[in-house]
Amino acid sequence: MTNEKKLDAKLRDYIKQADLVSEKENQEYGDRDLEELGEGTTFSAEDIRTLVETLNEKIHAAGEGIEAKERKKKLKREVRTIERELLPRKEKYEEYRAVAGDRKSFSKTDRDATFMRMKEDHMRNGQLKPGYNVQIGTENGFVLGYDIYANPTDTKTLKPHLEKVEALWGKVPERVIADAGYGSHENYEMLAEKKIEAYVKYGLFDKDRKCRKSASRKYRSDTWEYAKEKDCYICPAGEELKYFGSATNRTETGYEQTLRMYKCTSCETCSQQMLCAKGKRERHVQRNEKLLELQRMARERLMSENGVRLRKRRAHENETVFGQIKSNKGFRRFQLRGMEKVKIEWGLLAIGYNLEKVGRAMVRG
């Protein structure tokens, strides 16, 4: 939180000022040096209470001379400011952090809701609104499972959603068809471990499919030739990018990825530098080999005859559910507040959708 960082900076200033005006008292109370509180990057409410207690001790320990009285007066003023303004603000920030958990925001009117960018942005200004991430699983047009999440991205919802479907039906689906929002390293490996066929797009799938012959595509490192015997990549100019180390990347969920790093030392004299290295001295490349292999397998599945058919089917099945509920039935926002109540509300909508579909099938005979 930016405001909390500003508050911590202000507290550090108070500590420095208090040390300056009470240098003599510091010698007497060296075991409770205020500077110890100022070294950290953040403060807790308990730290602030300790600071107030320490300042009060310094006030009582001050002498009776004119200078001492002036120091007392200044310290008392600082204590009042800290107790009445800074401490309540810090307590409020700590409460907000506890409510938010691993989220970056929450709504004050519904603390389970998170601020997200909505698809239906009528103002077209990217306005954030409090909401929930609704996930559904469908088969033959029926909703077989649903769940509500507070995180705005789909990446972290696939695993818990499948676990709920498995608990409900006693088994996992044979295949999963999903869009690029779910195409992460962690999700691909999770589906492989569960022996589920993954027809899941990755971030650049549609771009790859539409721009295979694009002139700029050849400068993307994932299209470059790999020379296994030399452990290097060959750039469009025929130069080698040699391996120089590895790094570990940790995702928000704690999932670790190993990245192999390569660099080219011939960029400065290359005629294609501005297009490839974009003016930088050297072209550096990070490669996640496991993810690239998983994406290659996903691409082969998605581009197969069966994959094309399933992609079309996914768009028809899933979007129909949301289209019917939101557009045809006019349901645009949840009427209840709180995660559990919202789950019930969406569950009733899903049941209603399924019953209506059964009713139409019975009428058709």
- What pLDDT digit, counting tens, does each position of 34-82 carry? 444 444 457 788 888 887 887 787 777 766 767 767 777 777 887 888 8
Highest mean pLDDT among 5-19, 126-140, 201-215: 126-140
Higher-pLDDT residue of 329, 60: 329
| Of 275, 284, 264, residue with least CA distance to 215 | 275
pLDDT of 16 reads: 67
Give the whole-angstrom CA distance, residue 170 versus residue 106: 34
Tell whether the model's pLDDT for residue 213 goes beyond 80.
no
Percent of the chain whose predicted confidence (pLDDT) is above 90: 33
* Listed range (48-52, 71-75, 100-104, 313-317) with the worst mean pLDDT: 71-75
Tell whether the model's pLDDT for residue 26 goes beyond 50.
no
- Residue 257 CB partners (closer than 8 Å, separation 6+): 185, 248, 249, 250, 251, 288, 290, 291
- Residue 325 CB partners (closer than 8 Å, separation 6+): 331, 349, 353
pTM of the predicted protein model? 0.76
**Locus of tokens 């452990």:** 231
pLDDT of 127 reads: 78
What angle, rounded to 10 degrees, do the helices at 2-21 and 66-81 form? Answer: 170
pLDDT of 1 reads: 60
Domains of the chain (ranges, CATH numbers):
2-100 (no CATH), 115-205+298-364 (3.30.420), 207-292 (no CATH)
Mean pLDDT along residues 239-249: 89
Give the whole-angstrom CA distance, residue 178 versus residue 228: 33
Percent of the chain whose predicted confidence (pLDDT) is above 70: 86
pLDDT band at 143 (very low <50, low <70, confident <90, very high): very high
pLDDT of 204 reads: 83
Higher-pLDDT residue of 271, 14: 271
Tell whether the model's pLDDT for residue 125 goes beyond 70.
no
**HEC string for the chain:** CHHHHHHHHHHHHHHHHHHHHCHHHHHHCHHHCCHHHHCCCCCCHHHHHHHHHHHHHHHHHCCCCHHHHHHHHHHHHHHHHHHHHHHHHHHHHHHHHHHHCCCCCCCCCCCCCEEEECCCCCCCCCCEEEECEEEEEEECCEEEEEEEECCCCCCCCHHHHHHHHHHHHCCCCCEEEECHHHCCHHHHHHHHHCCCEEEECCCCHHHHHHCCCCHHHHHCHHHCEEECCCCEEECCCCCEEEEEEEEEEECCCCCEEEEEEEECCCHHHCCCHHHHCCCCCCCEEEECHHHHHHHHHHHHHHHCHHHHHHHHHHHHHHHHHHHHHHHHCCCCCCCCCCHHHHHHHHHHHHHHHHHHHHHHHHHHC
pLDDT band at 217 (very low <50, low <70, confident <90, very high): confident
pLDDT in tens, 175-186: 999 999 999 999
